[in-house]
Amino acid sequence: MDKTWLITGASSGFGRGLTEKLLARGDRVIATVRRTGSLDDLIAQYGEQLRVADLDVSDTDAVQATVDRAFADVGRIDFIVSNAAFGILGAAEETGIDQMRQIIDTNLLGSIVLIKAALPHLRAQGSGRIIQVSSEGGQIAYPGFSLYHATKWGIEGFVESLAKEVAPFDIEFMIVEPGPARTPFIGSIVQPDPIAAYDGTPAHDLKEAAFGGGWVIKGDPARMVDAMIAASDAPQMPFRLLLGSDAYAGVRAALTERLAVLEAGKDVTLAADFTEEELAAMQATV
């Protein structure tokens, strides 16, 4: 049976890939874009099967209005895909406050407001699935991407909590964590004005690799989109979907290191509690 999807950031990359493949199989898509006309070729091909809305997700009022209008126009929406995002590559010290606000407003606050706006509609229709496109960068961290990681770690924490809140309403979540992929993402990355003191440090080394061709990108965006759709179609979506061999290696190493640090500090961690005797004495005085 065909489904209806609302997808943000559909001009290019994963959003465009999802839109193309879903339309091709007969689903309906409401796609939001920042670049007017970027989906005109698909509108010409699919007509009313595709609806397009101009939207900058950092405009919270516009996000609310777009979601409300989408549900009013089509009735039921089965999938909400929060995909719109961009990156900043540079040392944190180099990043201006306006750049910080913009990435937080887009990647974090924009995603939160989109999901929050959809919740009353999904509750009213009795179910729904929300797919948050995050990144391997929601579990690991590269030097030079500190602001990007702040937004991705932040949205993953929000979704983890929210999923527990809305589970009684049959609203499901999936966090998609692609590794580096051959999408136009790298071309949209903002580069703050460099500080010479960081030359030769990890933040600038990574930037040189990313823009100088020294970073080999293994991820195939078409295969990643296929995996997203297959997971979305499953009777129960996985809560996390990690994509790409580099992502697997990086996240596995990070989690292994985190567990080792946890175990190494176990004695100190457990000693921070009241003892059983102290708790018993406090309970006796209540």
Q: Give catalytic residues, as residue numbers.
A: 134, 148, 152
170: region left, alpha or beta (phi > 0 left; psi from -120 to 50 alpha): left
Residue partners of 58: CB distance under 8 A and separation at least 6: 102, 105, 106, 109, 110
Q: How far apart are CA 258 and CA 179, in angstroms?
A: 20
What is the identity of the amino acid at 32?
T
- DSSP SS3 for 81: strand
CB 33 within 8 A of CB 54: yes
Q: How far apart are CA 118 and CA 170, in angstroms?
A: 14
